[in-house]
Structure formats: C-alpha cells, structure tokens
Amino acid sequence: MLTRIARWAPGTTSGAEVIRHEYVEEVYLLEGELTDLTLQRTFRPGDYACRPPGMPHGPYTTGTGCVMLEIRYSAG
C-alpha cells in the first residue's frame, strides 16, 4: 500500500505511453490542473479517479503544475 501527496511542477508530462498497472489507484486532485492526453480531459481540484488493475489511463501533462493525493493498494 502507498499513500502520498504527489506534486508535479508546471510543464511536467508523464511520458508518451498509456499507463496500466497491477494495483488499484485512487487519485484526488487538490491543486492545479492535470490533463489526460488520451481522454483529452482536464481534471481540476476536487476531481477524483479510481482505477482498477489493468485500466488504461494517461499519459498526463500539466501546464500549471498540480498537487494530488494518491493511494495505491492491491485488489485482493
């Protein structure tokens, strides 16, 4: 299990690949904006996402920077 506050500086990009992982991931955006380049959707403070194992998401970019609460844990 991992719980953390993640801070991304303005101009940060997660890479060019769609992301998939083996764990559940919950993310709550606290500050700034985060754009999912595949969905072409921008998330703002108060937005929440819960991604089950294997769910495709990202890549991401942020022009303004952002702060998010991230929680990861196994599905079983």
CATH number where 52 lies? 2.60.120.10
Domain that holds residue 17: 2-73
- Please give the pLDDT value at position 3: 98
- Please give the pLDDT value at position 75: 82
Please state, in angstroms and rounded to a whole number, the distance separating the CA atoms of residues 48 and 7: 16
Q: Is 6 helix (H, G, I), strand (E, B) or coil?
A: strand
The pTM of the full predicted model, rounded to 2 decimals, is 0.89
pLDDT tens, 13-50? 998 999 999 999 999 999 999 999 988 999 999 999 99
Provide the domain count of the chain.
1
Does position 76 have pLDDT exceeding 80, yes or no? no
